[in-house]
Structure 1
Amino acid sequence: MFAKNVGGLDRILRIVAGLVLLSLFFLYPDASWRYFTLIGVVPLLTGLMSSCPLYSIMGLSTCPVKRA
């Protein structure tokens, strides 16, 4: 599976942003920009999985460092 690279605050913000964007899809059914809100699936899934493929490619991580 994917390595966890999304930390606590980052994870919460991704989930909230994803839910907000997806809710706009249903709240404004006649809007011309309606289908752009489906991009909210991406932050929602990366937040729920605690893993971001783009972070992996760039070598970033917002997870706290584990001390040995």
Structure 2
Amino acid sequence: MFDRNMGRTDRIIRAILGLALLIAFLSIASAWKWLALVVALVLLATAIAGTCPPYSLLGIRTDRR
């Protein structure tokens, strides 16, 4: 569907941040936990897919191609 536009380092950073926010979602008890969940899911999805739609719109590529 989308061309991969994220490099390895970008994907690793997104995955780590996504996991950290997922842990925060599970451990905090405030209204902010739902925002943490949404952001975590977006970060993890883009890390797994290797593509970031805003990068595509802006013409940004962090991969080496």
Q: Which moved more, 1:32-41 or 1:11-20?
A: 32-41
Stretches of 4+ moved more than 2 A in 1? none
Q: Which runs of 5+ in 1 are unaligned?
A: none
- Equivalent in the alignment of 1:54: 54
The gaps in structure 2 that reach 5 residues or longer are none
Q: Decide which structure has greater helix share.
A: 2
> Bigger radius of gyration, 1 or 2?
1
Mapped pair 1:32 → 2:31: yes
Counterpart Cα distance in 1 of 2:36 and 2:46? 16
Which residue does 2:41 correspond to in 1?
Answer: 41
Q: Percent identity, please.
A: 38
Match of 1:4?
A: 4
Quote the offset at 1:19 in angstroms.
Answer: 0.9
Partner deviation per Cα, 1:16-68 (whole Å, 9 max, x = no partner): 1111111111011x223211101111111001100000000000000002xxx
Give the TM-score normalised by structure 1. 0.87
Given the two structures, how large is their TM-score scaled by the length of structure 2?
0.90
